[in-house]
Structure 1
Amino acid sequence: MLHKEILSVIAIVLTLTAFVPYIRAIFDGAIKPHVFSWVIWGATTFLIFLAQLEDKGGVGAWPIGVSGSITIFIACLAYIKRADVTITKTDWLFFVAALSSLPLWYLTSDPLWAVVSLTIVDVLGFGPTVRKAYYFPHSESLLFFGLFTVRNLLVMMALENHSVTTLLFPAIIAAVCVLLMMMIAYRRRVFASKASVDNGFL
């Protein structure tokens, strides 16, 4: 039990370690979060936290609760700072699809179906950020998503009850973070290669 609490505390520290410089970078204008993504992530992460508690996730759910609270703050910050106000039809599609999944939380008393629904919503929330990062790969932080990948792995180890309900969300989000980092790294190489070619002709 004690080792799970220690893992949970480490996961919370990693969460704060990722968020503090990310928030600072938003104020500095170096990072431009997409408001739609963060609204979706904030709502779903906090609801996942409640579902994990219901399924006796225990101390392993704490980092998710902390993350959900800070994510909601970043969503507000993204709106106030107008960090990324470019909203396309595709972004609206992701947003509407995400919201359409939320009623399942109220239609079932089984936390598993709530977690499945909310995990889908959260993954859909990556849509606008993926689109933005594809065209502007330097507008997101590889370190940030890397820390969250490690954080989610620690959350999985710290959970007091291992079930599909408690494990699904952190496992899927860790995988999505890895894929997003791979895409960002690839696009940065493409941009760097293009810049080198362009400079060669100058």
Structure 2
Amino acid sequence: MDLKLIIAIIASALTIIGFIPYLKDIFTKKTKPHLYTWLIWSITQITATVALLYGGGKFGSISLIVGTILVLFTLLLSFKYGTKNITKSDKIILALALLAIIVWWQLESPLLALFMVSAIDGVGYIPTIRKSFVDPWSETISFWAMMALVDLLAIASNDQYNLLTTTYITTIFVANIVIVSVCFFRRQIIQKRK
């Protein structure tokens, strides 16, 4: 069996394993996903997955496909269990995510669209980072850490390495590390104050 396929299967399994405590925490109302963040991520991750396939990522796209299904499920849950404090900037980010899809369709430029969705996805983390800064216990750190590991494995399982296959995954890797860091350090600071 191809090593890259094995890495892709491991990344996909870790994606599912990583989502289990996150979903459990949503159902127990410990974690409150931000509605617009997950809506933006649904749009951007679908676009990025298609771009990764288009760019020849092959096995690298497997964990993104699995992740996209789980992101869409989390989006649905965020309507009932999530945070809905939607700001003007959240609406702008959503509009930009939709614009990236139009750019791809109209200009037939998957790379430009991918740069847009990578930037938008990175900015799409801001509502969750903002929420986590205020309430660092409102997110499940193990989930975000697992997703950062999955991102590294997804890059390793790519069949080809180019801007189409690495840009998006690298962006979300960095953003996942930021959320882990914000939650971890803010928990330490708030705990010390008590």
Interval of TM-score (by shorter of Structure 1 and Structure 2): over 0.9
**C-alpha distance in 1, partners of 2:92/2:111?**
25
Given residue 51 of structure 2, which amino acid in structure 1 is its aligned partner? A
Whether the 8 Å contact between 1:43 and 1:72 is mirrored in structure 2 is no
1:152 touches 1:174 (CA, 8 Å); kept in 2? yes
Deviations 1:64-105 (A, max 9, x none): 1111111011101111x2421222334334334444444222
Structure 1: stretches of 5+ with no match in the other structure:
196-202
Q: Cα RMSD between the aligned structures?
A: 1.5
Aligned to 2:149: 150
Query: Residue 199 of structure 1 corresponds to which residue in structure 2?
Result: none
Equivalents in 1 of 2:158, 2:193: separation in Å? 45
Relative to structure 1, the CA distance from residue 35 to residue 104 in structure 2 (aligned partners, 3 Å threshold; closer, same or farther) is: same
Amino acid at match of 2:21: P
Cα gap change, 1:114 to 1:93, in 2 (>3 Å): closer
For 2:112 and 2:92, how far apart are their aligned partners in 1?
22
Residue aligning to 1:200: none
SS in 2 for 1:103: helix
Asked if 2 retains the 8 angstrom alpha-carbon contact of 1:46 and 1:69, the reply is no
Which segments of 5 or more consecutive residues in structure 2 lack a partner in the other structure?
A: none
Paired residue for 2:35? 35
Instruction: Report the Cα offset of residue 162 of structure 1.
Output: 0.7
How far, CA to CA, are the matches of 2:39 and 2:28 in structure 1? 21
The answer for the alignment partner of 1:58 in structure 2 is 58
The aligned amino acid for 1:30 is K
Q: Does 2:125 correspond to 1:126?
A: yes
Change over 3 Å in CA distance of 1:11–1:27 after alignment to 2: same
Q: Which residue of 2 aligns with 1:170?
A: 169
Provide the residue aligned with 1:11 in structure 2.
Answer: 11
Quick one: distance in 2 between partners of 1:113 and 1:96?
A: 16
- Give TM-score scaled by structure 1 length: 0.90
Tell me how far 1:108 sits from its aligned partner.
2.6
Question: Offset of 1:29 from its aligned partner?
Answer: 0.7
Report the residue type matching 1:154 in the other structure. Answer: L
Aligned residue type for 1:73: F
Separation in 2, partners of 1:96, 1:114 = 14
Deviation at 1:51, TM superposition (A): 1.0
Residue identity opposite 1:8 in structure 2: A
When normalised by structure 2's length, the TM-score is 0.93
Provide the C-alpha distance between the structure 1 equivalents of 2:113 and 2:87, rounded to a whole number of angstroms.
Answer: 28
Displacement after TM superposition at 1:180 (Å): 1.9
Structure with the greater alpha carbon radius of gyration: 1
- TM-superposed CA distance for 1:110, in Å, is 3.0
- The AA in structure 2 aligned to 1:121 is I
- Counterpart CA distance in 2 for 1:84 and 1:129 is 9
Asked whether 1:187 is paired with 2:166, we answer: no
Residue 161 of structure 1: SS of its match in structure 2?
Answer: coil
